[in-house]
Amino acid sequence: MISVIGAGAFGTALANSFAATSPVWLWGRNAQSMAQMQAERHCPRLPGVTLDPALSCSGDITALPAEGPVLLAVPMQTLREVTTRFAGALAKRTLVLCCKGIELSTGLRPSEVLAQTLPGATVALLTGPSFAADIARGLPTALTLACADRAEAEALQAQLIAPHLRLYRTSDVTGAELGGALKNVMAIACGAAIGAGLGDSARAALMTRGYAEMSRMAAALGARPETLAGLSGFGDLALTCTSEGSRNYRLGLAIGRGEVFDPAVTVEGAATARATDALARSRGWDLPITAVVTGLVDARLDVKTAMAQLLARPLKEETP
């Protein structure tokens, strides 16, 4: 059986998709809401989607099935708290991370957080260009499944099957994590440019030079260049920087338009920008777009000043 921890839109969409071919157990922190989902077969965060009969919804972590992989579909900034809280239930299990980001308090990636909270677990990562609404509606989606253990990756690839999902394997967990995390920062930048009326050409420039920043940081941390060129990097960047389905892009739009963004909406790119900028400064990395995005989300810069800073950088030869 497949288990999913985290009943937000993305976790529920994945759980419902996998339930088409396998029994799935889904946990959410609000027991009353989970009981309602179980009885009514609908998720408030996925309007119009009927939950598959093979999907069981629960608010009781002690009911976690003893066998099968566990997908962790919780926000990056709560990953440590959730895995520490449920360490007894999750110890030595096969865990598939479904969050994208960098921990603000430590600068660690998701797999590095699990290495501290659940050192005996087998860790994989599911990432790539995907919106919960598309997955829930059964629209074709391709994702990256990253795991250092090839045999485990092949086993997970065979288990995590849905009619409209296609999973590609990689052993480069670091590269897949960084692609999924850093593209959110670039999406904020692109949203801000469009929101401020700077045009599609400015967005294209930010996407391209943002990809160069992602690649430089990934290489510095030992990732393979081809991973960033795949679904978890370039693919996710293209989707997130061009669609209002992305919360990161919508935050950027609001910043560019001078509007207030709903603080209740989780935007992983804001924390990731801060964490990445701090890491870059400590290691002497040149990540100018990340730096100005951090200034934008912290309200230290406006879009006009941020763009002026980028345009005033020293002239140089283009390098990826």
Q: Of these residues, 92, 100, 183, 316, which one is catalytic?
A: 183
| 183 among known catalytic residues | yes
How big is the chain by its Cα radius of gyration, in Å? Answer: 19
Q: Which residues are catalytic?
A: 183
